[in-house]
Amino acid sequence: MTTKRFFLRTLASAIALTAAGGAALHASALQAAPDTAATFPSKPVRIIVPVAPGGSADKLTRTLGERLSQLWGQTVIVENVAGASGTIGAGKVAKAAPDGYTLLQQGEGLMLNSILFRDLPYDTARSFAPVVKAVVNPQVLVVNPGTGLNTLGDYLARAKAQPESISLALPGNGGIAHVAHEILAQETGAKVNYIPYPGGGPASVDVIAGHANATLITLAAVTEYVRAGKLRALAVTTSYRSPALPNVPTVAEAAKLPGYSVESWQGYFAPAGTPPAIVQKINRDINQVLQLPEVRAQLEAQGFKVAGGSSADLARSLQTEQPRYAQAIKTAGLTIR
């Protein structure tokens, strides 16, 4: 082989290797490039639900997750991380990469924990980016039918005549149910035995089994059990009756407590620092799923009331509710124990 031919062949090989290497580097750079709103999501998305499976938060997130997976063409993984009134799951999201691929399902409990707990594994005001308030819903007081408590009047009468004789399964110590019942107790003098649970699923199952007498819980978690006669609903905490269980009175009606009203909600958060464009993309897509007729009908049948709205709406809601619940907790003398 002549020196000229050898040089040309070597040069061609070098050019080919350089081109291949450049293509590989380009592909690697594209793979490593951060997502934009146009490309998000390009891999599975994980939603942390900070309570045990089976409750309303779990049902809501799995319903939305299935539809979001179809919309995004990516798997949506629902991970239950229960414990410490939701603070363990929230702490996990607070430390996650701020890229939109790890989200937190939470409601007013996020704000309540900031009032009730002295030491948290995150800074509530700085660790999360609000995404969307998905639903609002009543809490409902339900009992095992075997207790013989047929009305809220029966319940309150026994709780006053025989203090702490009623065992109340709390779906999270210090949560909205705890606050709602403490306000009721302060107003009526009722005293029950609180038993904390890691979520609404285990709490309702134990009431059905007779291991606890009652629970105050998000209505959507127990509508099926009430309709099946496994639980008896005594009253809802909102100022309005729920269309899902229209025959169940409000606490204000049944206990003759005008002005009594506690409404809970559930929404989604991303870690602080998540690009605003990705937060807005997730917001738009969750809103789109919430407005699907079949999804809306399914959620409303369970007892949810679809909310939706912007991430700014959720941020304003937190700012408005924080002083209100702080005052309610102070008045009720509620403490974590």
Q: Which domains, and CATH codes, for the chain?
A: 45-136+264-332 (3.40.190.150), 138-254 (3.40.190.10)
Which uninterrupted H or E stretch holds 264? strand 263-271
Sign of CA dihedral 168, 173, 177, 179: positive
Q: What average pLDDT does this structure show over 131-136?
A: 97
Those residues whose C-beta lies under 8 Å from the C-beta of residue 59, and which sit 6 or more positions away, are: 220, 221, 302
Q: What is the pLDDT of residues 36-67, one digit of tens each?
A: 889 999 999 999 999 999 889 999 999 999 99
Residue 330 binned pLDDT confidence (cut-offs 50, 70, 90): confident
* pLDDT > 60? residue 14: no
- pLDDT tens figures, 225-268: 999 999 999 999 999 999 999 999 999 999 999 999 999 999 99
CA distance 223 to 318: 27
Q: What is the pLDDT of residue 19?
A: 42
Contact 132, 308 (CB under 8 A): yes
Instruction: Kindly report, residue by residue over 173-182, the tens digit of the pLDDT.
Output: 888 999 899 9
Q: Give kind and range of the element (H or E) at residue 276.
A: helix 276-290
User: Strands 214-218 and 128-143, how do they pair?
Assistant: antiparallel
Tell me if 198 sits within 8 A of 55, measured CB to CB.
no
Backbone angles phi, psi at 235, to 5 degrees: -170, 150
What pLDDT, on the 0 to 100 scale, is given for residue 22?
A: 45
CA distance 33 to 16: 25
User: How would residue 33 be classed by pLDDT, with cut points 50, 70 and 90?
Assistant: low
Which ranges constitute the DSSP H helices of 52-132? 56-72, 87-94, 109-116, 124-127
Tokens of 316: 């304003």
Q: Distance between CA 322 and CA 114 in Å, rounded? A: 9
Q: What letter represents residue 305's amino acid?
A: K
Q: Is 120 helix (H, G, I), strand (E, B) or coil?
A: coil
How much is the pTM? 0.83
Determine the average pLDDT of the residues in 290-307: 95
Q: Is 196 exposed, middle or buried (0-12, 13-18, 19+ CB in 10 A)?
A: middle
pLDDT of 316 > 70? The answer is: yes
Dist CA 205 CA 273 (whole Å):
39
